[in-house]
Amino acid sequence: MRNLKNLDIKKSIAKNKLVYSESWFDIFDTILLFVFFSFGFICPFLVYYDPYRDHSKTGSEYYILFFGSLFFVYAIYRKATEKHLTKIISKYDAEKNRTIITEYCKKLGFERAANSKDIIIYNKSDSFGSSSLYQSSRIFILDKNNIYITMLKKGYKTNFPVLF
């Protein structure tokens, strides 16, 4: 699981995204991903609008580059929204919601990592990794009869599993 040091539940609910202290490596990782994938998005436009290129010989390979750039935009979007919380309005109280979440996560094979009054975290090793370095965490924040959920994935540099 990612290190959720100094997680502020009240600010997270107010901002509708996880608010916690990130390590310098996580910040560097995010910046590196944004720079790399922004370059991947801009590069097809630079190739296509080259002023020294003969535009009468434009083949389909230039258009394939544009479709490839959609992947880079999607990756930037996924990284930018990975900490956003999804609000689920429940008709049950917090204890009943806790029971439902526990049953749901056990059914899917998740292991409990943390369980406090307001937050529940379940982890599961992803099957596509050869070791336990790839791990997904489901984070549930309970607030009255509302449930806030997000899923964070842990992996190698630039956190590529989050992008898929």
Tens digits of residue pLDDT in 58-102 = 667 777 878 888 889 998 998 889 899 999 999 998 899 999 999
* The pLDDT value given to residue 160: 54
Domain count, the chain: 1
pLDDT of residue 157 exceeding 70: no
Query: Once rounded to an integer, what is the mean pLDDT over residues 28-55?
Result: 82
pLDDT of residue 158 exceeding 70: no
Q: Is residue 4 part of a domain?
A: no
Query: Once rounded to an integer, what is the mean pLDDT over residues 31-56?
Result: 81
Residue 109 gets the label, from left (phi > 0), alpha (psi -120 to 50) or beta, of: left
* The pLDDT value given to residue 5: 81
User: Which residue segment(s) compose the domain that 65 sits in?
Assistant: 9-163
Q: Is residue 75 part of a domain?
A: yes
Q: Is residue 148 part of a domain?
A: yes
Q: Is the Cβ–Cβ distance between 41 and 73 less than 8 Å?
A: yes
Q: Is residue 3 part of a domain?
A: no
pLDDT of residue 149 exceeding 50: yes
pLDDT of residue 159 exceeding 80: no
Both tokens of 51, joined, read 């002023």
> How many alpha carbons fall within 13 Å on the CB side of residue 131?
4
Q: Is the Cβ–Cβ distance between 21 and 6 less than 8 Å?
A: yes
pTM assigned to the model: 0.76
Q: Is residue 1 part of a domain?
A: no
DSSP tag of 22 = P
User: What's the angle, vertex CA 134, arms to CA 126 and CA 112, rounded to 5?
Assistant: 65
Query: Once rounded to an integer, what is the mean pLDDT over residues 117-132?
Result: 75
Burial 11-47, CB ≥16 within 10 A → b, else e: ebbeeeebbbebeeeeeebbeebeeebeebbeebeee
Q: Is residue 138 part of a domain?
A: yes
Report how far residue 66's alpha carbon sits from residue 140's, in angstroms, rounded to the nearest whole number: 38
Residue whose pair of structure tokens reads 């539940």 in the numeric block: 9
Residues in the chain: 164
What percentage of the chain exceeds 70 in pLDDT?
A: 83
Report how far residue 47's alpha carbon sits from residue 32's, in angstroms, rounded to the nearest whole number: 23
Q: Is residue 107 part of a domain?
A: yes
Q: Is residue 2 part of a domain?
A: no
What percentage of the chain exceeds 90 in pLDDT?
A: 29
Report how far residue 5's alpha carbon sits from residue 26's, in angstroms, rounded to the nearest whole number: 12
